[in-house]
Structure 1
Amino acid sequence: MLDESLSKGLATRFFNEHAEYCFALDRNRLRCEADARKFAHHPDKWRQWLRSIDGSLGKTLLSKVENGGKRKFLTVFHYLGAPDSNPVTEWDEPIIPIMFRSYTYPAAQVAHRFPDRCYVSKHAFARLIQRLGVSEGSKQGTYDFYTLNEELVPLVTWSTVWMMCLMDVVHLAQLPKELLAFPIPSSNGMFFATLNMSRPMLNIRTWVHDRQLSARQRSLKSKLQQSLDESEANLISCIADDMRPPGCGFAVKAVCSRLASFSNELLDAAFEHLSDSPEKADLQVLVRKTVEAFKLSPGTLAAYQSLSREAFLAAFRRPDGEQHLIMLLEKAVQKDPNLAEAFGSD
């Protein structure tokens, strides 16, 4: 758990980073900081604030970025844009773009509009509504949108994860996009996405309920979810390049190292269906180099996991956060001889 001092420091840091926005609203930044420090330690006020925004967001998804305690977190809005024609596929199809919209914190909201993270096809929405059984009444097409929130929130995170794992090969024309199906686990099932070649983005094609998954798919879902659950860093807050605070670079690499083996397995399976060609071998080598770039040695991961959450979050507050994290890891290695190989291959 975070102590009171660190929690206040996180609140202060948040407003320091967004001082320009606070001033644009003609607010006194110091007053905002003081209010946030007080507000963050009153759970009743926090719950009241959450209830007030939960019912008034329109087509917006909520996810919570915890800073150690259930009542100390930021909330991220994931905005679903207006339906558009799909630039990813070669046919005209209605899609919904999903993106980061804003951070909110008690007493303040900071609006952003980051690039689209993925496109959700009309077919995927239809399958999600149908297979979740959320339709209401006899009128076709009527459903409670907010029952979809829990399933849709992981799309932003996992789209970014897969793009980072494949960042060096996503633009290659010879990559067999028609053979790749990227899994995205959700609460009650899995989304399956195809890869766009012209932009680093996933096209969410369909959603399958847990009861429809094969044994192999259920095993894969479990492994992917476990990879995220084991991470000390919250991907929603730091994995995207344009949202990464100091110190998160190592966290992102550690998370991707857990996921890289899964992406490698999927790509290998796709390559099996390709006919032999001069480009095939070169492409396989490039993919493996990309995957290896995200891998850490077992010792490094063990040292990383040995850090307390308090120490990890404290590093976020420092301008030299990533270097400070590495220093902490080196100390962990010195204390535990079993971690001696931690930095042998990095």
Structure 2
Amino acid sequence: MDEKNQTMIFILLGFPGHWYLHVLLFNFFLVIYILTLAGNVIIILVIFSNPHLHKPMYFFIGNFSFLEIWYTTATVPKMLAGFLAEKNMISFTACFVQLYFFFSLGATESLVLTAMGYDRYLAICNPLRYSTIMNSRVCTNLAVSCWAAGFTIYLLPISLIASLHFCGPNEINHFFCDAGPLLELSCSEAHLTEIICYTYTSILILSAFLLTMVSYIYIILTILRIPSTSGRQKAFSTCASHLIVVIIFYAAIIFMYVRSKAKYPFDLDKVVGIFYAILVPLLNPLIYSLRNKEVIKGLRKIVHRKSRLPNFLD
């Protein structure tokens, strides 16, 4: 790693505009951040406090919600601080710590979504053996493997980016430290590093996405063979929320990180970045709670236990 890089300060350009616009954006994204934290914390508490939700599906949903809390925290607080600062400065070390956690948490999320798809595949396509195959030990091992792989896979590409020489300008045209803008700033020959980063990211995203889609192909084929309409609806309702999250999550990150070499304006990247780094973590708890009767039922129990109010959620 270049020693001169250690003392370098990057400037996150974020979003252009006047002070009043920055104040407006600060309040808007602050509300979204608070709602995201609250929504995911509520899901975790509902799952933890309700014995009826101590099932593999909700175990993975709890893991995913915990990931979402830290995934959005990796970028949003620094972005919020930038709205109120004259210059949103970040040190070289802090920039690459942010980059590492953002990519590692994102990789872990994609792996957890794959594990959730496998869980739904077993529950619908092999229901008689489901409880035997997907026991607590297997669930724990799957979750630990997802976390370990997610926080290991990006060590090499991020180390390669950090070893490049950055001699200026030090302005990152983004609201967080992303790989693309950093590679653009490098004064070193970064072609090989760019290929390695692109290959790592493409393999991870596409492999996880394809494995999840394979699970859902088998799930859909199994559901279509169910003779009754009510049986098909019940079977599909158990995995519809997860499928919606998968489609939203992968649509954004495939556009951002698995695309042609053609240059896209960084302003477009920032808009897409807002979607998958800020808005998607807000949507996920809404999708899982509003479409899941067991989660709503567990939330009712907590509300009634704490407040002793009438059953106004019925």
Is the structural similarity TM-score above 0.5?
A: no
Which bin holds the TM-score, normalised by the shorter protein?
under 0.3
Higher strand share: 1
Higher helix share: 2
- TM (norm. structure 1) is 0.25
Instruction: Name which structure has the greater RCO, CA cutoff 8 Å, separation 6+.
Output: 2
